[in-house]
Structure 1
Amino acid sequence: MPPRKKSPDPSPSQAAAAAPASSGKAVTGKPSKAQSSAAERVYLIDTMSFIFRAYHAMVRQRSMSTKTGLPTAATYVFVNMLRKLREDFSPQYLAAVFDVAGPTFRDEQADAVTSIRKFDIKTQTFTDVEYKGYKANRTAMPEDLAQQVPYIRRALEAYRIPILEVVRFEADDVIGTLARKAADASYCVYVVSSDKDMMQLVNDKVQILNPPKDNLICDAAKVEEILGVPPERVIDVMALRGDSIDNIPGAPGIGDKGSVEIIKRFGSVEEALERASEVEKKTYRESLLNNRETILFSKRMATIDTNVPIELDVESMRAGHPDVEALRALFTELEFTSLLKELLPVVEVSGTSYAEAKSAADVESVLSAVPPEGALAVAIEQEESVPAPEEEEKEEETPDAQMSLMGGLQASLVNVPVERAARRVAISANTGVATIVRLDSGAAAEKLRSVLTNVAVPKGIHDYKAAIHTFEPLGIRVEGVRHDSMLYSYLLDPTYSSHRLAEVALRRFNLKLGGELGESADIAGRLVSALRSEVETAGLLKLYEEIDLPLVPVLARMEQAGVKIDTAALSQMSSHLEREIAAKAKEIYQVAGMEFNVGSPKQLGDVLFNRMNLPKPVKYGKGRTISTAVDVLEEL
């Protein structure tokens, strides 16, 4: 598989670290020289954690699915997470650890617990309630995510990343065991996870890598910075605060702040329970005195088992080259065009003949070669756009990004200066053959103009609307367009986000375009032939001929004419909305007891969750600020 673009110094052993492991600062990026040279590195992926993260990352964005309706968003994000991990860290050893469906040893232990105590913050009393079991509060995996898990497993297999799982044990326990064994064997271990539970595993050989947090690497000092206690005390804090998602009860009435205070003072849950009478705060003291068994049970539930019956086989985890054919099959099935492109070598269309017209006779010969019931494929070169000064240093775009929707190319692709009146047009009558005509070439250009404006000559264009916008300023009104391969593509595959010539050629012919104008006309002609028959078979021809195609010139004229706007009415609406916003802002300031920028997610989150002490959401937004997304606010 061709490598993705990397930084100038991609070698893990030469990458600079943001801070040494003992500094207490967050380490981002690749391991430091000391880390990478001292020991070989083993990466253990907490797979389900990232599958759920990938799923929820796309929940509020556009959905992704194949034309058959198979959801693909989580798979797409997960694969990109995986590719980024490989690119950023070049793992020497890598494994993906899964949870196994079915009860675990924690479920068996939890079955023995029938009731627990809850603290009522209003009445300041403890109440016995039924305990429904470990992880009883978790909802079933969303159906659209469950459909994607088999494809994610296929992706891991195609990247030749071993999948590890053990019956009766959770992925955390398998990871904990492998991390311990690898550390004992002097490997440097990175647990790839965003789960804070994993922080109990951190030591001088084991660290947490959280890619979504800018590749944050947590050593012991960072764990203490985040949770307030060192790694060896994480389970004690978790035993007191509990976990509502996993239905670990914890100590009723003792929250995040109290749990850290108690463990910092006493050192462990057991010591805190023994000396509970010394605790000054009544709520904390009574909770410790009256919930000993529940707290110890919570600690057992929160403790990762590092003695799972699984052998450490580091050689089986050795990172190798992906199975390109398996990835190609998977990406094709899931319609991941952008990923598919990276698997393909640059393939030039073979057996072609693209020549420039020297006379009107050359144009006539192409016209006479159009087969019965066929059409003349047309592509026009786009006018060169001069980049703004600040854009000149940007990376070169890929050919497909520079290709126009109708199949022509910007002049920068072929390194030929294009003057406004010297545009080129390519025409093709048969596969592998195209003739290029300069619009200032005298008799050949005149002949081409007469052909383009002749309604009796059937034509095929990729993106008819873009062609109208390009030809009409040149004084050419194209007539006789029967086929628009971009419209055909959309009718057949409406879920794709792009129907540019390059993308469609890749999807249909597994071919990367080389950038020639003649090739654009050639490929457009091939697509017309291939897609037209599929449209007919799908029963979409009537829709295409009676609605889609006739609508193209109408839409083009609408775009040229623009939309008349009543500026006075918009100004009035704007003033009205500004008054309403100001009134609402005053109400918000009164409730909050202070003025702040309501439009700032950071300030809004601080007011809602720190100053007003409303329940904090589980998720965080950009920059690690508390999320104030619509769904979070609606839940409040």
Structure 2
Amino acid sequence: MPHLYLVDGSGYIFRAYHRLPPLTNKHGEPVGAVYGYTTMLWKLADEVHAADGPTHMAVILDKSSKTFRNDLYDKYKAQRPPAPADLIPQFPMIRDATRAFSLPCIETEGLEADDIIACYSKAALAQGWSVTIVSSDKDLMQLIEPGLDMYDTMNNRRLGPEHVAEKFFGITPAQLGDVLALMGDSVDNVPGVPGVGPKTAAKLILEHGDLESVLAAADGMKKSKLRDNLIEHAEMARLSKVLVSLKCDVALPEPLEDLELKGIPDAPLRAFLEHHGFKSLIAKLSAVAEAPVAESPVVADMDADEPCKHDDYETVVDEAALDRWITIARHQGWIAIDTETTGIDATRADLVGISLALHPNLACYVPIAHGGTDLLAENPVQIDRAIVLAKMKPLLEDPSILKIGHNLKYDMIVLARAYAATGGVTIAPFDDTILMSFDLDAGLHGHGMDELAATHLSHTCIAFKDVVGTGKSQRTFNEIDLKAATHYAAEDADVTLRLWRRFKRRLPAEGSTRVYEMVDRPLVPVIAQMEMHGIKVDAAKLSRLSTEFAGQMASLETEIHALAGAPFTIGSPKQLGDVLFEKMGIKGGRKGKSGVYSTDVTELERIAADKDSPGAVIARKVLDWRQLSKLKSTYTDALQAQINPATGRVHTSYSLTGAQTGRLSSTDPNLQNIPIRTEIGRQIRDAFVAEPGNVILAADYSQIELRLAAHMANVPALKQAFANGDDIHSLTAQELFGEVNRDTRGRAKTINFAILYGISRWGLAGRLDVSADEAQAMIDRYFDRFPGISSYIVDTTESVRATGFTTTLFGRKTHFPRIRSKIQHERQGAERAAINAPIQGTSADIIKRAMVRMGPALLEAGLPNVRMLLQVHDELVFELPEGDVEAAKPVIERVMANAATPAVTLDVPLGIEIGTGLSWGAAH
């Protein structure tokens, strides 16, 4: 179907004018805006052609400053300052630039560009076309509807109904005109109603439906300044509605068919560029003419990349060279970036240098802290750190330049710390290739740069150990000579850029843009902030717990040795296996290839479950010993060592690609493995504490996976139970066993969750301590009572066998390559994982969306001191002043409860449980 792109030319012109310094062409004419506009339009034409394949395009401009709105209201836009003197003569040249691309340049006397865009949009939609408006103007958001979206090139994002809802407090695009009429616009001099801002306007429209209903209801409102203003300024509100409404009933200046996009022609564009002497763009045009496809970071022939040429990489050691790289980045609009540091912990490592890449093999390394630790050592020539940071900051924050990184969260933290003394830095807009890879290929392979380079580029990256050495001879990166450092660092940026070129075009083609743009990419700076915040731990309490655990382990050792009849090393699988299967004669032992008996958790649980086995008691005690040993080494001992001396807090590291279903994982420490419902787990959580004057707040989704199963499997009984606030496990117990008591409810709870993980009859039998036949009977009864769950499992399994992947409600794909394996246990394992992946993945997507929205919502509510610290499973953990608790609770609950909307509307409510206390444990 035809896809029409309508470019808001005025927005492009002013962005171009302000993004570049004053420039003149060879005729002495000012052309800064012309040059910027030309590069931006060229980039758009290339990129959208690759991403969406538009068939038609036009640039829409304002013909003059006077329109029919000035006849209605002479003050309309009256206070807008005139265009800058050096921009006015560039307007005709910009029209020439548009026509040089063979793009229609449309303007109509008496109408604003927004009205023309509205006319073309409605006409195209009426013929069944798709429409994209290239703008982020709020007035144009009124036009958003099915088939029409907006593209914000400044922030590289698509704008749909969900953006309008987020920006204007829950309203729809169709209601936006009424909201704009009430709130007015000081820039355009739209009067509106005094004292009514965006939030109040949205609230009124949501309550009453439309502007006229609001005005009609004003008399009945309780006495207030708002009521008086609505009554007194009703006519101004109606006038404002006319002023902000877009006129879409005018005949089209040019037929839709004449807007067909036919590619960038050489001759007229070359003539235009040569007239103005735009040498770099002439060179680009020549490269396009010689290349088999258009030269673009997105659509270039991917097989044409030359191998990485390390000797071509530049070491930037003077300011002029750095300025050159930054200028090129500004002109082309994108740059890959990577940081080199003294360590892998972003919250502790020091910045050593920055690498940049503009095109394949066009990469550099900017060292800032190289040199030996010896005071007498001669350090290499490099630009002063403060100068590099000062020059890089505008580039990093420039909204017109896309920053491309791999695992950019790490670089954001490193750079935030580097800029901490000078006011911080915000890196935007950005793309992250590790997330692009994950959203495209989760489950197929890893997403580290080395593996991706080998998989997609057939390139073997320089190994870090080959640069810094290993063992006692290992050095930190700042001690590496600049040539070797440049080869390694610039290669990272080069490879990142090459991966981005491939992944960027795949996202829309493979349906992964939605989850990348709406869920994962916005989460990167949020996670970076959480890691930098960290959380305080009570070292003294941890020390006491370590001592207690050691004592309990010693007691268990004594008991185990007594049961075994002799001392042995409990932590040795070989010695434990010999005791259980040789000395005690337990049947069913299995040996691995090494000849050692397996004593893994499954084997020990099997032995412990056999009450008649002579090893049942010893197996249970070994399991207890192992848990204590793991908790002691992983948490109570390790957490003390992980306290950052500079902050006095522990800073866990989150991975957005660590779990293939989309869940976050964490390391150093791994917070996901703290036991949830045991007393020992609570004791460890008690060691995570708030700073004086603050409290910890824990907000947890209640049974979110069961709620999602009710929605996704369409189970009316479960949906109704959740809507009523019933106890879902009691409902299941009644359905399966005919009565509800402690035993049947416990069994029902186990079954509810186990079914969602595709558990087998044997697995359920083991969990409930019943025979396999009894377990199968329970599964059969469950499916009889809830047939939607059975259908969901069958449909999901058949779908993943056909496609190779599952999909969440937000479009996240998880691949299961072993679903067709000839090895039975591999195939069955893939099937079980596939059954749960859409549910667990959707749950992960929802909590991620809540995390992205949380900060803005808290700021909007006047709660800047509420900080989100941790995300564990279905729970968010905050630290906040005691006095903010009551105000924060409803904000946090609202954001979490509505996180799926408006992208996804669920048939069940999302329940949120919130608790507070001086520690994480106390908040539960």
TM superposition score category, shorter chain reference: 0.3 to 0.5
TM-score by length of 2: 0.32
TM-score by length of 1: 0.46
Structure with the bigger percentage of helix: 2
Structure number with greater CO (CA < 8 Å, separation at least 6) is: 1
